[in-house]
A and B are shown apart, each in its own frame.
Chain A
Amino acid sequence: MNGVPINYYLYLAAVLFSMGMFGVLVRRNALVVFMSIELMLNAANLTFLAYARQRASDIGHVSAFFVIAVAAAEAAIGLAIVIAVFRNRGTLNIEEIRTLKH
């Protein structure tokens, strides 16, 4: 195994994941929450690929492609929802959107 050790990849992925999670939990703007989710997904991708490289296995790559496809689908639907919510309510502030209660 040459080049960068796997630890660094994992540290990076963990940092990225934590940043994403922080964004999801704290930010109020729905768009930013979305971007944070993308960040978390990519952190997961990075983990997959790091291990795939270390183990010289293709399954990690396959999983990464799956995650990319899911992320794309999620972004398409999610953005559509965001637009619909914005048209309905005129805001993207998550604290004001509490319809899950009912």
Chain B
Amino acid sequence: MDSFRQFLMTSPAPLQSLAPSLWLIIGFPLLGALICGVFGKWLGRANTGLIACCAVGASLLLSILAYWAVNDPTTVTGSQHAFENFRYAFGHDYGTWFQVGSFQVRFGLWVDHLNGPMLLVITGVGLLIHIYSTSYMSHDAGYWRYFAYLNLFVAMMLVLVLADNLVLLFVGWEGVGFCSYLLIGFWYTDPAKAWAGRKAFITNRIGDFAFLIAAFLLVLLSDAYSRQATEANAPGGRIDRHRLGVVVTTGPLNFKAIDSMARGLGTTQGNGPKMSLDTVIQEGPLKGRAVQGVVTAILLLFLLGAAGKSAQLPLYVWLPDAMAGPTPVSALIHAATMVTAGVYLFCRMASLLVLSPPAMATVAIIGALTALIAALIAFAQDDIKKVLAYSTVSQLGFMFMGVGMGVFWAAMFHLVTHAFFKACLFLGAGSVMHGNAEETDIKKLGGVRKEMPWTWLTFAIATVAITGVLPLSGFFSKDAILHGVHGTHLHGLEWVTNFVWIIGLVTAFCTAFYMWRLYILTFEGKRSAEAKIPHAHESSAAMVVPLVVLATLSVFALIWGLHLMTSPSTGKSQAIFENFLAPIFANTDRIIQGTGNLVRHDSPLMTAYVVAILIAWAGAALAAVLYFRFFPAWRAAGKPAPAFASMARGFAVAKFKVDELYELVIINPIKWSAKLLYRVVDSLLIDTLVVRGVAWVTYQTGAALRYFQTGDAQGYAAVMVVALLAGVAYAVWGLGR
């Protein structure tokens, strides 16, 4: 065991060669996108698929190397590519990207324990989905376009994850949004699908706007910090020069700088730098505001940005519509990777987040409400992909709950396990659609189990995993969040804990219910009379193998959730993944201890486990009873439901009319004001007065002057003579006077 452990913790290559090559992880998929996009038509289907898969495969290999190397404590600490105060992290600085005055952004990539697992998920699940796509998209005319977009997406997602500063992260953030837009509207000849792409893009834009404002505020805050946390403001105190130095040398938006600043701000007592959360900023545009308020504002704006990308409460509406894209895209972008960017962002800036309990509470409450509402909507959806889409929104809500309550490791753990089982579910759904003539209505499927044994098996495993039944990974990750939420109190906002926890439990119940409903209606019972084709067929090996791998992963990821390690600081047992992420959140924990913003207390783990298991089984059992006995799909109509039930169902089917509400409150006023602007400014002022006005004046002048042009040379000569005489007369008599 020890030698195995030693093997895992020995870097496979020296950092001097590994760290400067980090860009290759991004470079391979980017090259693949270029080749597929430019030469894909000439290369043919098989070659395009091969190149795309190889590009992601090469990226996966490099990611494994990087992940391996980052676990090696000796090489990492001794190298020039390592960072002081950051254990288990290395990176490479490729130079200054741009610099304006003292503000600079550097082009740097890094790997640590937080983005290491992300790298593996993106490239690993990405590779599986690429392989799956070679079969799924084999008949599509735009396969080369598809693989170019998919590779570009993987590259952009890797930029997002590898970036060591917010600006580079934003490049990836926008890049994945753009690829998501391209892939949702992949079948752009269908106007509804093209619209879905646009909806996703516009909704994300609102979030991105908030993200940018937050980044600008952060720059201002950092500026104030480096100006005020100086010796002049700390009579008798000691300045942590190192911390200030990081902010100055790496630029204010670097994550290490943000971490250092948060650490400096979070130290209230002792002889740390004399700028804390209560300090009033003395210079700049933020003059006169307390740091605490600015931090909260920054975090809330980041929350809006993350809500756009990760489909949280005000901005989640784009994700269900994003199912218009090809199913593997839904699995990769809208379940496993892109939508988790918001969770990643907050975990990356955890040390900043814990400075503000109100912001944390908002994040947690938004997550909880999103989880609940999406789960409720998922009850009544009949489209297999729509159910999974709302399920994704709901599970992302869980992750936000965890982030908001400071259980960062559990949120990341759920992110990883969710990537496995939700990708498996989506790919399984794609396989079902593929074998049933693109039928997506679960009421018109049924009994697929016997005809598609592999799809059935993997889908069932993933369903068990997401439900949170004991031995699978979903149980451990979801329970880790719920347990962590239950054991955490926010300073001054103690009620949030129970609120979020109870909603979390209810949502867990709902999750079990809608997932089992989906599973039973699709796979169990008899085949529906309305099915498009009488017999389904199992998909090809290229589609089944990724399913099997993902199902296996969603079982074995549970290892990370086992409480086998002991915490070096408290001495208590902790989950492997928690132990693994501990170096990342070490600073965060110190800030928590310093400020007292968060109180963690132990609650018995076993009780939480029992509650979680009971809830999962209860939801599943309810679904089983209802859909086996009362509303089976294979019976044509089922029993007529009571009036209130059908009303509630109708409301849920209509997705709680959120889209309609947005239409009424936001979109229509904007449309009307746009129309007004169009009529008055564009149509009247610009078009009529300015553009056509100039033309009209010119035309009329010409029309009037036309009468002078007779074509008679002698007439022209006469005019010249008269003018000449007038000139002479002026010269002779006019000037003399």
A and B interact: yes
Chain A interfacial positions (CB closer than 8 Å to B)? 21, 24-26, 33, 94-95, 97-102
Q: Which residue from chain B places its CB closest to the CB of A98 in the assembled complex?
A: B711
Asked if B710 and A98 make an inter-chain contact with CB atoms under 8 angstroms apart, the answer reads: yes
Q: Is residue B713 contacting chain A, with contact meaning CB distance below 8 A?
A: yes
26 intermolecular pairs with C-beta atoms under 8 Å apart: A24-B714, A24-B717, A25-B714, A25-B717, A25-B718, A25-B721, A26-B714, A33-B714, A94-B712, A94-B713, A94-B714, A95-B712, A97-B713, A98-B710, A98-B711, A98-B712, A99-B711, A100-B709, A100-B711, A100-B712, A100-B713, A100-B716, A101-B709, A101-B710, A101-B711, A102-B711
A26 to B721, CA, bound (A): 13
Q: Which residue from chain B places its CB closest to the CB of A24 in the assembled complex?
A: B717
Chain B interfacial positions (CB closer than 8 Å to A)? 709-714, 716-718, 721
Distance in Å from the Cβ of B726 to the closest Cβ of chain A? 15
Residues in B neighbouring A21, C-beta threshold 8 A: 721
Residues in A neighbouring B713, C-beta threshold 8 A: 94, 97, 100
The residue in B710, B713, B716, B718 that gathers the most chain A C-beta atoms within 10 A of its C-beta is B713
A1 to B714, CA, bound (A): 41
Residues in B neighbouring A98, C-beta threshold 8 A: 710-712
Residues in A neighbouring B721, C-beta threshold 8 A: 21, 25
Residues in A neighbouring B711, C-beta threshold 8 A: 98-102
Distance in Å from the Cβ of A95 to the closest Cβ of chain B? 7
Q: Which residue from chain A places its CB closest to the CB of B715 in the assembled complex?
A: A25
Q: Which residue from chain B places its CB closest to the CB of A37 in the assembled complex?
A: B717
Q: Assuming A25-B718, A94-B712, what are 11 further A-B pairs, CB within 8 angstroms? A: A21-B721, A24-B714, A25-B717, A25-B721, A97-B713, A98-B710, A99-B711, A100-B711, A100-B712, A101-B709, A101-B711
A24 to B720, CA, bound (A): 12
Distance in Å from the Cβ of A26 to the closest Cβ of chain B? 8
Distance in Å from the Cβ of B715 to the closest Cβ of chain A? 9
A100 to B717, CA, bound (A): 13
A33 to B721, CA, bound (A): 15
Residues in B neighbouring A102, C-beta threshold 8 A: 711
Residues in A neighbouring B709, C-beta threshold 8 A: 100-101
Q: Which residue from chain B places its CB closest to the CB of A100 in the assembled complex?
A: B711
A95 to B714, CA, bound (A): 8
A94 to B711, CA, bound (A): 10
Distance in Å from the Cβ of B703 to the closest Cβ of chain A? 15
Residues in A neighbouring B714, C-beta threshold 8 A: 24-26, 33, 94
Distance in Å from the Cβ of B721 to the closest Cβ of chain A? 6
Distance in Å from the Cβ of A40 to the closest Cβ of chain B? 11
Q: Which residue from chain A places its CB closest to the CB of B724 in the assembled complex?
A: A21
Distance in Å from the Cβ of A85 to the closest Cβ of chain B? 12
A97 to B710, CA, bound (A): 11
Q: Which residue from chain A places its CB closest to the CB of B706 in the assembled complex?
A: A101
Distance in Å from the Cβ of A7 to the closest Cβ of chain B? 16
A45 to B710, CA, bound (A): 32
Residues in B neighbouring A94, C-beta threshold 8 A: 712-714
Distance in Å from the Cβ of A97 to the closest Cβ of chain B? 8
Q: Which residue from chain B places its CB closest to the CB of A95 in the assembled complex?
A: B712
A25 to B717, CA, bound (A): 7
